[in-house]
Amino acid sequence: MSDENIWRGEYAVETSATAEAIWSIFRDVPAWKTWNAGIEQIEIDGPFAAGTWFTMKPPGEEALRSQLIDVRENASFIDETRVGDLVIKVAHRIETIGPARTRVVYAVDARGPQAFEIGPAVASDFPEVLASLAKLAETGSA
């Protein structure tokens, strides 16, 4: 695959919330829609573990099937979504950066046809999503 079919983007937020607080929010997949405006409906087909599939429906769009391909407790998870020949992976990382400081990073890797259009579209709301996640982790409410 040539380089012109790969798009990458990375977004981050710093928070005073602990890695464990952030992880508990990540693990509660059915509640993602309470802090992520890009999700109208979401269902997970099993435990929050590598290999488990979930279905997510953005507002006004068709539902997408995604799979958790790597899950590391209190550290990171990666989900993968395939649409035809397009593959989108999103890594969600929790990094401790100092006393009572944590960075949450969403890194997108889109490969295949239309990666340069779809990748930025997928990531367009990540700054708002990360801000809502940080607020929820810090205060207990989105």
**82-140 pLDDT per residue, tens:** 999 999 999 999 999 988 899 999 999 999 999 999 999 999 999 999 999 999 999 98
Quote the pLDDT of residue 141. Answer: 77
Q: DSSP state, 33?
A: H
Q: Would the pLDDT of 49 be above 80?
A: yes
Handedness of CA 114, 115, 116, 122 (dihedral sign): positive
By the 8 A CB rule, do 134 and 104 touch? Answer: yes
**pLDDT-derived band at 4, boundaries 50, 70, 90:** low
Quote the pLDDT of residue 3. Answer: 52
Average pLDDT, the chain: 94
Quote the pLDDT of residue 99. Answer: 86
The residue to which tokens 């981050």 are assigned: 12
Quote the pLDDT of residue 140. Answer: 84
Quote the pLDDT of residue 62. Answer: 93
Quote the pLDDT of residue 1. Answer: 46
Q: Where would I find the beta strands (DSSP E) of the chain?
A: 6-15, 41-44, 53-57, 64-72, 76-83, 86-98, 101-111
By the 8 A CB rule, do 86 and 118 touch? Answer: yes
Please give the residue that has the higher pLDDT: either 46 or 3.
46
Q: Where do the domains of the chain lie? A: 3-139
Residues 6+ apart with CB under 8 A from 128: 37
Domain spanning 3-139, CATH class: alpha beta
